[in-house]
Amino acid sequence: MPQLFRQARFLLSANSPKQFPDDSGYEVAFVGRSNCGKSTTLNALCQQKNLAKVSKTPGRTQMINFFQLDEQRRLVDLPGYGYAQVSRKKSGHWSQLLDRYCQSRHSLSGIVLIMDIRHPLKELDQILLDWAQTTGMPVHILLNKSDKLGRGEANRVRFEVSDFIAKHTHPDVAKSWDVQTFSAQKKQGLDEVYTLLKKWFRMAPQE
């Protein structure tokens, strides 16, 4: 793995846009439904068990968490969405916070959308993809927890999600979107993610 990710450290949590760090350099945001394995994915990528706190209570992550790789590169953990037991007031605040972040950050280079491979393309996932299409934002979809399915079934779901994108996305946008099977728990698929992140972070091949 690139050394840059091993040196990741928590930078800050933001509950409003005025708390965001300076909008410079490059950011890659991780987003997904509650309990999709977002925190576990970040920990696996950086090989740090407790970099991002893993909660057993879906919907616990209520703020945007920024993790610094170096002076110009950051990973961003966006609040999980779609958990039914979160109050409507909190859910509304999260939606506004996500909207403000995604629409205002000039440093945002791409979005990693994490889905539970057993429950892909839920309504809110599709809403986020619709937004990404209107902005032309690059998206990489991780079908997490693929170890819970057999290889054939996992590949079938990956094909279905790829087919959905091909049918519902403008061809020029779809060129910058991709789908892969992944398991944060088993650390499967990490190399493919590193290759993508190095591109989005404008990293040199030797980094």
pLDDT tens across 128-177, in order? 899 889 888 999 999 999 999 999 999 999 999 999 999 999 999 999 99
Three-state SS at 114: strand
Beta bridge partners of 144: 116
The two structure tokens encoding residue 205: 């091949």
What are the distances in angstroms from CA 100 to CA 28, 54, 55, 93?
15, 25, 25, 11
pLDDT higher than 90, residue 89: no
Rounded CA separation 170/155 (Å):
23
Question: Which amino acid, residue 101?
Answer: Y
The side-by-side arrangement of strands in the sheet containing 139-144 is: 9-14, 64-70, 73-77, 26-32, 108-116, 139-144, 177-181
pTM of the predicted protein model = 0.91
Pick the CATH number of 3-200 from 2.60.40.10, 3.30.70.2200, 3.90.1150.10, 3.40.50.300: 3.40.50.300
- The full set of domain ranges for the chain reads 3-200
pLDDT higher than 60, residue 125: yes
Rounded CA separation 20/103 (Å):
13
Residue-wise burial string across 42-61, b where 16 or more C-beta atoms lie within 10 A, e elsewhere: bbbbbebeebbebeeebbbb
- Give 93's pLDDT tier (boundaries 50, 70, 90): low
pLDDT higher than 80, residue 92: no
Q: Exposed/middle/buried for 75, CB within 10 Å: 0-12, 13-18, 19+?
A: buried
* C-beta separation of 52 from 74 below 8 A: no
- Give 91's pLDDT tier (boundaries 50, 70, 90): low
Instruction: Please tell me the predicted confidence (pLDDT) of residue 60.
Output: 47
Three-state SS at 93: helix
N- to C-terminal Cα separation, the chain: 10
* C-beta separation of 4 from 151 below 8 A: no
pLDDT higher than 50, residue 83: no
Instruction: Please tell me the predicted confidence (pLDDT) of residue 106.
Output: 96
Please provide the size of the chain in residues: 207
